[in-house]
A and B are shown apart, each in its own frame.
Chain A
Amino acid sequence: MLNSTLKQLSALLTQKKLSSAELTQSCLDRVARLNPGLNAFLTVDADRSLAQARAADAQIAAGKAQPLTGIPVAHKDIFCAKGWRTTCGSKMLANFVSPYDAHVVEQLNAAGAVILGKTNMDEFAMGSSSETGFWGPVKNPWDRTRVAGGSSGGSAAAVAARIAPVAIGTDTGGSIRQPAAFSGICGLKPTYGVVSRYGMVAFASSLDQGGPMGKSAEDLALLLNVMAGFDARDSTSLERPAEDYARALEAPPAGDRARPLGGLRIGVPKEYFGEGLGSDVAAAVEAALAQFEKLGAKRIAISLPNTGLSVPAYYVIAPAEASSNLSRFDGVRYGYRAAEYGDLADMYAKSRAQGFGAEVKRRILIGTYVLSHGYYDAYYLKAQKIRRLIAQDFAEAYKQCDLIMGPTAPSVAFALGSMSSDPVQMYLNDIYTTAANLAGLPAMSIPCGFGEGGMPAGLQIAGNYFAEARMLGAAHQYQLATDWHLRQPAGTE
Chain B
Amino acid sequence: MPLSLPEVKRIAWLARIEITDAEAEAAQGQLNGIFKLIEQMQSVDTEGVAPMAHGQDLVQRLREDRVTETDRHALYQAIAPQVENGLYLVPKVIE
Query: What is A's interface to B at a CB cutoff of 8 Å?
Result: 96-97, 99, 191-193, 206-207, 232, 235-236, 238-239, 306, 308-309, 311-313, 315-316, 323, 327, 330-337, 341-350, 352-353, 356, 361-362, 364-366, 368-370, 372, 378-379, 381-389, 391, 422-424, 427-428, 437-441, 465
Contacts and interface: CB of A to CB of B under 8 A. Distances in A.
Interface residues of B, number: 51
A312 B19 CA distance: 26
A343 B91 CA distance: 6
Contacts of A372: 11, 14
A192 B27 contact: no
B22 interface: no
Given A99-B76, A232-B61, A369-B11, A331 B56 contact: no
Contact of A315 (B3, B11, B37, B42): B37
A337 B83 CA distance: 13
B75 interface: yes
Interface string B47-73: 001111111101011010000000010
Contacts of B75: 99
B89 to A, nearest CB: 9
A193 B58 contact: yes
A385 B50 contact: yes
Main DSSP-derived SS at the B contact region:
loop
Interface in B11-65: 11-19, 27, 30-31, 33-42, 44, 46, 49-56, 58, 60-61, 63
Nearest to B24: A365
B72 A99 contact: yes
19 contacts: A206-B55, A309-B41, A315-B34, A332-B90, A341-B91, A343-B91, A344-B91, A362-B27, A366-B34, A368-B14, A369-B3, A382-B41, A384-B51, A385-B50, A387-B52, A388-B50, A423-B33, A424-B33, A440-B56
Contacts of B16: 327, 330, 345, 348-349, 352
Contacts of B55: 191-193, 206, 391, 437-441
A347 B91 CA distance: 8
Interface of B: 3, 8, 11-19, 27, 30-31, 33-42, 44, 46, 49-56, 58, 60-61, 63, 72, 75-76, 78-82, 88, 90-93
A309 to B, nearest CB: 6
A103 to B, nearest CB: 15
A271 B50 CA distance: 24
B28 to A, nearest CB: 10
B11 A312 contact: no
A432 B80 CA distance: 41
Nearest to B15: A368
A383 to B, nearest CB: 6
A119 B42 CA distance: 39
Given A365-B15, A384-B52, A332 B30 contact: no
B84 to A, nearest CB: 13
Contacts of A191: 55-56
Interface of A is mostly: helix
Contact of B49 (A343, A389, A440): A389
A316 B44 CA distance: 15
Contacts of A362: 27, 30-31, 34
Contacts of A239: 61
Residue of B15, B40, B58, B82 most packed against chain A (CB within 10 A): B15
Contact of A352 (B17, B50, B56): B17
A385 B46 contact: yes
Contact of B60 (A235, A346, A381, A386): A235
A365 B10 CA distance: 10
A305 B21 CA distance: 42
B38 A315 contact: yes
A364 B17 contact: yes
A388 B37 contact: no
B81 A337 contact: yes
A62 to B, nearest CB: 30
Contacts of B60: 235
Contacts of A353: 17-19
Contact of B34 (A331, A335, A368, A423): A423
Nearest to A345: B16
A448 B2 CA distance: 42
Contacts of B46: 382, 385-386, 389
B34 A427 contact: yes
A333 B87 CA distance: 10
B56 A379 contact: no
A385 B51 contact: yes
B90 A313 contact: no
Given A99-B72, A193-B56, A335-B81, 7 more contacts: A232-B63, A349-B17, A366-B31, A385-B49, A385-B50, A424-B33, A440-B56
A353 B16 CA distance: 8
Contacts of B42: 378, 382
A334 B54 contact: no
Given A344-B91, A349-B17, A352-B17, A365 B12 contact: yes
Q: Which 6 A-B pairs have the closest CB atoms?
A: A440-B55, A384-B51, A206-B54, A385-B46, A353-B18, A192-B55
A381 B17 contact: no
Contact of A332 (B31, B72, B80): B80
